[in-house]
Each structure stands twice: as C-alpha cells, then as structure tokens.
Structure 1
Amino acid sequence: MTSTTHEETAAQHPAVFRRVVVCGALADVCASPDRDLVRNGIDLVARASCAEMLVALHEDAPDAVLVPAQASSGSLAEVIDVVHRWASIPVLVGIHPGEPGRGDAERALDAGANSLVTLPVTAEELRRALAGLGFAAHASTQTVQVGRLRVDAVAHRALLDELEIGLTHREFSILHFLAARSPRHVPAGDIARQFSPSADPDAAARAVRVTIGSIRAKLARTADHGDAVIQTVRGVGYRVNA
C-alpha cells in the first residue's frame, strides 16, 4: 500500500480557496481540469463577458479577476479601473504566447493590470500568479482569526474562545474555508464544488449542509453561543461571524 504524505493530503484538500472570476468560457482561459484547480486551491468562475463580470462583482465576491486582453469590446483600461474602484481586487490579464501577445502585454500593463498570465493558463501557473500578488502560495499555511474563532491550518486546530473544537478533516476544511472568506456568504453549492468536484451537485450540497450542521453542534458544545458562529441566510449561503 502506498502511503500518503501530509503535503500530498494538503494539496488534494486545500483549506482555503481563492475565487477568480474570468471573462469568457473557461475552456478558452484555463488548460487544467476542475480537479487540478481544486488541488491548487482555486475556485474559477466564468462570466460570459466583461460587462457581466462587472455587474456580478459583488455577488461573486472574487479575490481576483482574470480578463483576456482581447475579451473587452471597450477599453481594457476602463475595465481594470472599474474593478479596482468597485472591488479593490487585483486584475490579471491573459495574453497569447509569442509575438502576438507582446502588444497586448504592453497595453495591459499600461492599463494598470496587476499581473499577466499566458493563455491558456494552467492551475499551477494561476496559483503562482496569485502568490506573486501576495496571496499565500499554499492556503494550508494560513491561520484565520474571526472574532472568537481561530482556525490554524498549520497545526490543524480550530479554537473557539481558546477552547479546541474536535473536528474531522472535512469539517475542519469547510470551517477554514468559510472563516477565510468571512464576512462573505458562501452558497452550499460553491462549497460542494470545492470539496466534492466529481459528485452530483445536489447530493454534494446536501452533504455540505449536513456537515455544517455537525460543525455547529460541535461549536455549541465547545462554548456558549457557539452554534451562532456559522450564520445561514436562506437562498444566499453561509458565513462565519464570531
């Protein structure tokens, strides 16, 4: 039997995901399958156009956006400026390899792009680009503190009011995922897509709800009002508000 190292397990089950919204079809932008994206801690969401992406910035709550240099029918500089002003998040611009992309690269940098990636980008390349923007190269090295709750992915410990919560690996991963995105709401379907990418979406979302119920029960047993740490907004999703 082949043993699985701690590093391999962490790579297969990242504790925190970075959401990147892209303009255009995922197949045109990304060269990696969903499973590789999951292993690299990336939640890639497609919007059909730059205009649709801008309208949905608040709803999607991305950590960064990826705009192909040729995707904008208007001014690339305007798109970048709006993202910076409305969401205060980095803009990665995708360019084509070789000589055709040189002009696009110069135009993107002049327009205020935070980083350039060559299309189609792989999950590993995208992870490195995000790391270059200041995002952790491996989410599993992060400790997240939200009020009374601290989730330490290095030690694999979660504490509420300094009292340790006994969680399974899946429960810990989901709690860390929610805490890292606080105060944003995360739909059950989004959580399911990260941790069960190959499962039936409806069944996986139901499993997420059951897991969150189990986490709430353990939070309640650990400290007073612990069951209120994970809040639910019907039709929107879950968030940590400790």
Structure 2
Amino acid sequence: MRFNKRTLIVIWFILSLLTISTNLFAHGVDASTKNFLTANQGVAIGPFLYIGAKHMVTGYDHLLFLVGVIFFLFRIRDVLIYANLFTLGHSLTLLLGVLKGITVNSYLIDAIIGLSIVYKAFDNLGGFRQILGFQPNNKVAVAVFGLFHGFGLATKLQDFALPQANLWKNLLAFNIGVEVGQFVALFFILIVLGCWRRSPSFYSFATATNTLLMTGGLILFGYQLTGYLAYG
C-alpha cells in the first residue's frame, strides 16, 4: 500500500497532535504562564489574550476534537455553525466557572474531554448508526461537549489565586484569546483537510484517520482517569 504526499502530510499532522508530550504542560499550563498567573495582580489584557490563544493552539485535546468535528464538513457555512456552537458552550462555562467559583475536578473534566474526541471519531466512523442503530444530534453534542471543554479551561485558571478585582476583564481577554487561537487552528486544519480532500485517498484513509483519532481520545481519557485515581 503506497501513500501519496498529501496523505502522508495529513497522517503526520494527526500523529503530531496525538504525540505531543503531556509532560510539557502541567494541567495545560507551562512554566512561564504559571509564573505570570501566580505573580499578576492587575488588569493585563494583552498577556491574557496571548495566554488564551496559546492555550487553544497548543491544546491538543481541543484540536483533536475540532479535527473530528469538521472532518466531514465540506461547506464553510457548516464549519462556522459548529464552531460557533462549540464557542458558545465553552465560553459560557469558562466565564461562569471562574467568576462564580464553580469547581470541578480537573482530571475528570479532562477525561470527559478525551471522551468527546472518542465520540466524534466514533460518529465519523458511522458507529452510532451501524452499531447502535441511531444518530445523535451532532449540533447538540458539539454544544454540550463545548460546555465541558469550557470547564476544562476554567479549571486551568482556578488553580491560581487570580485577584478578584477586575477579574472579569482579564477573563474576557483570555476568552477572546481562546477564540483567536481557535480561529487560527481552524484555518490551518481546513487548509490541510482541503488539500487532502482533493485526493482520492481521503475516503480511502478516512476510516484509519478517525480510528487514530478515537485511539488518541481513549489514550487521553485513560491518562486523565489514571491521574484522578492516583491524585484526584
């Protein structure tokens, strides 16, 4: 079996997302970001914009979910609808989680985020129709999983004693940064998928790619569940 150049690029892209070392980030926050959040005492719009964007661009769990969501979306209109539903969900729980102090165990939330990747890959493989005999409403599912992704973001910030004065300003900047990062990630993912879709190999390897996505989601789920059992 021979792989053409476009197929190899896509497989490399997916594998790169799957193999990002979880040791680079402690619950998704690198050392420099941790130092800034720990020391910051005032309004810092620019840095929080940057941190939000960086968290999304380097957040392999969010990226893998987005790949699964748009894998079979061929119209920009559909991509925007699903992206907006995801944005609405995670923005709501991010803001409420931090501002209202709603705490959720970070390991359990990240485990559910891993399952969101499994869900979308399983759906792309036709698993619900073929194995379970029904098709869930994907728009509702993406919005609901967006809520969990938002709580995942909130738990990252709740680990730090952020000053309450003008917290909403920094939080809003962080959320806008997340959306900027999501837009950038979507842009490059669509370029890669767009190139691949023009190749006959797209449908030939769609099953293998989504199986790889589902495997990645299961690995993330197992990793976080192990963390919960060990430290939760």
Q: Same fold judged by TM-score > 0.5? A: no
Q: What TM-score range do you get, normalising by the shorter chain?
A: under 0.3
Q: Normalising by structure 1, what TM-score? A: 0.26
Higher relative contact order (CA 8 A, sep 6+): 2
Q: Normalising by structure 2, what TM-score? A: 0.27
Give the number of the structure whose alpha-carbon radius of gyration is greater. Answer: 1
